[in-house]
Amino acid sequence: MTRTLRILGTVLLALLVWQAVVTVFALPRFILPGPHLVFGTLWTSRALIAEHAWVTVTEVLLGLGLGAALGFASAIVMAASPVARSLLRPMLVFSQAVPVFALAPILTLWLGYGLWSKVAMALLIIYFPVTSAFFDALMRTPTGWLELARVIGARPARILWHIRVPAALPGFASGLRLAAVYAPIGAIIGEWVGASRGLGYLMLLANGRAKIDLMFAALIVLAVLTLLLHAAIDAACRRMWES
C-alpha cells in the first residue's frame, strides 16, 4: 500500500510540474500541450492508440523472447567451451561497437517494413545485456561447489546444468530486467525507420500533422507498457526464487 501511494504521489507531482511549466511559460499546445489535453486525447483516441499499441507489444514480446533465448544459449555455449568463448566473445563485443540504431535501415531493407524488422531490432538491442549478464554469472559459480562436484565424479555436462546454470539464474534474471526496458526502444526505432503500424509510427504521424497531444498520448502509453513489462518480469523472477 505504501509503495502504491509513493507511485501515485510521484505521478501526481509530475503532472503538477508539467501543468505548471505549461502555465508559467504560456506554451502553445503545438509545443507542449497540458496534461488535460493529452489525457483527453488519450481517451477520445483510445481505439486508435490501442490498435497501434497491440502491434508494438507484439514486436516487443517476440523480440524479448527470441533475444532472451538466444542470449541464454550463447552464454551457455561460451561457458562450456573455451573455443566457442574465444570466437564468440570478440563478436559479441564488436556487435556493440556498431550502433544498433544505425542497423535499423539495413534491417528494414532486408526484412521489409513489416513485423520482423522491428523484432530483429528488439532482439539485437537486448542480446548483449542478456548474454553478458548470464555469462558473467556462469563464470562466477562458487569454487567450492565446483570442487565438490568434481570430487564426487560429476561430469562437466552435469556440473554445467545442475550447478552452474541454477547458480547463474539470478544473473540471467538481471539481464531480463534490463531487456524489458531496452526491447521497446528497439521496436520503436524500427517503427520510426519504416512502418505502417505501431506506436512509433503513430508518434511520427501525429508529429507530422501537428497533433502533439496525440503524440504525447502515444508516448505515455509506451512508457506505461514498458513499466508494466518490467514489473511483470521482475515479479516472475522474484516468484521463481521464492519457489
Check residue 151 and give its pLDDT. 83
Model confidence at 243, pLDDT cuts 50, 70, 90, reads: low
Angle between helices 115-139 and 165-193 (to 10 degrees): 150
Q: Please tell me the chain's helix, strand, coil percentages from 3-state DSSP, rounded to the nearest 5.
A: 85, 0, 15
pLDDT surpassing 70 at residue 34: yes
Nearest to 146 by CA among 158, 133, 134, 131: 158
CB 16 within 8 A of CB 166: no
pTM summary value: 0.92
Give the whole-number percent of the chain exceeding pLDDT 70. 98
96 vs 176, more confident: 176
Q: Where are the domains of the chain?
A: 37-242
pLDDT by residue (tens digit) across 114-156? 899 999 999 999 999 999 999 999 999 888 888 888 888 888 8
The arithmetic mean of pLDDT across residues 207-229, rounded, is 94
CATH code for the part of the protein at 37-242: 1.10.3720.10
pLDDT by residue (tens digit) across 51-86? 999 999 999 999 999 999 999 999 999 999 989 888
Asked whether the CA dihedral 109, 129, 60, 167 is positive or negative, the reply is positive
pLDDT by residue (tens digit) across 188-211? 999 998 888 999 999 999 998 989
